[in-house]
């Protein structure tokens, strides 16, 4: 069984009484969690993580099935469905139809992650752009928000989002890693900005500058687990409990109490994904 990233390392910050967090983006279906899934979930609950949104877009379409199954099995887990830009070359009419069918399940709260990744270019860029446009269209038709993955592709992404009316669906730029100007551009489109453990990294001052300007009602926090564990857990498998550490650093960066960041990010996540009063009922 994998060791907890907390073993032998500093304790997580304690959330103020009466406050909890939501991990707005994690990958609980991945094999990294297969051996200790229940312990991971228990540590998240103990740390004050009230809910998790697991992203069903990694690799083959079966990842979507796994994410939906996890959401169905756990009252505090919700799912998204889509195809990561790395696999955009797989996207055609049959794949879109499968994603649409899954998106109708009651605990599916968004389309994605979708977007553009020009850093790795695992799929040809024209296919990435076509898939991104198609998923925005699907999200608009189903009236679901969009979870957007971006690396080194902001100009093209903004062009596609404007052309396809992404504002009408709304959504979040997940694991945001840009600067203040980039954040403003996505905020102007009505999107939320989500910060991961990258905001804790020593070389991330431009990102911290962006974090300071995001309005409180557009701010989300995530782990992107099992990736991107925050300092001082960097280099170890990330997991939802560690969203508390990222939120604590985000509070320091914004010169706000942790209670304020916990309250705003939880409320924003609930509203964006309809976790209260929306489609999910579990």
* Whole-angstrom distance, CA of residue 53 vs CA of residue 75: 11
* Whole-angstrom distance, CA of residue 72 vs CA of residue 257: 34
Token pair for residue 153?
């592709």
Nearest by Cα to 176 from 244, 250, 235, 125: 250
pLDDT tens by residue, 50-69: 999 999 876 668 899 999 99
Rounded to the nearest 10°, the torsion over CA 177, 180, 182, 188 is: 130
Q: What are phi and psi of 195, to 5 degrees?
A: -110, 135
pLDDT at 282: 35
pTM above 0.85, yes or no: yes
Burial 146-163 (b: 16+ CB within 10 A, else e): bbbbbbebbebbbebbee
* Whole-angstrom distance, CA of residue 131 vs CA of residue 176: 20
CATH architecture of the domain with residue range 23-273: Alpha-Beta Barrel (3.20)
Whether 181 shows a pLDDT value over 60: the answer reads yes
Nearest by Cα to 153 from 118, 177, 129: 118
Highest mean pLDDT among 11-15, 88-92, 244-248: 244-248
């Amino acid at each position: 069984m994998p060791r907890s990233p907390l073993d032998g390392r500093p304790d997580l910050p304690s959330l103020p009484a009466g406050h909890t967090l939501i991990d707005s983006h994690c990958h609980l279906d991945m094999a990294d969690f297969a051996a200790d899934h229940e312990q991971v979930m228990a540590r998240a609950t103990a740390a004050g993580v009230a809910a998790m949104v697991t992203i069903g877009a990694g690799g083959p379409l079966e990842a979507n099935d796994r994410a939906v199954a996890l959401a169905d099995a756990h009252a505090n887990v919700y799912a998204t469905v889509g195809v990561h830009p790395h696999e955009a070359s797989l996207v055609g009419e049959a794949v879109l139809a499968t994603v649409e069918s899954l998106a109708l399940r009651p605990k599916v709260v968004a389309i994605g992650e979708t977007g553009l990744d020009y850093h790795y270019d695992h799929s040809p860029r024209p296919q990435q752009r076509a898939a991104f446009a198609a998923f925005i269209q699907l999200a608009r038709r189903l009236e679901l928000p969009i979870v957007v993955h971006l690396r080194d592709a902001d100009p093209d992404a903004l062009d596609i989002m404007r052309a396809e009316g992404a504002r009408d669906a709304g959504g979040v730029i997940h694991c945001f890693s840009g600067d203040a100007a980039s954040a403003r551009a996505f905020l102007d489109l009505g999107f939320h900005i989500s910060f991961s453990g990258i905001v804790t990294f020593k070389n991330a001052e431009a990102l911290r500058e962006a974090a300071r300007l995001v309005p409180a009602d557009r701010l989300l926090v995530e782990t992107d687990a099992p990736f991107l564990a925050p300092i001082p857990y960097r280099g170890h498998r990330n997991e939802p409990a560690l969203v508390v550490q990222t939120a604590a650093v985000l509070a320091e960066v914004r010169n706000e109490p942790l209670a304020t960041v916990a309250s705003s990010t939880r409320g924003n996540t609930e509203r964006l994904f309809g976790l209260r009063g929306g489609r999910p009922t579990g």
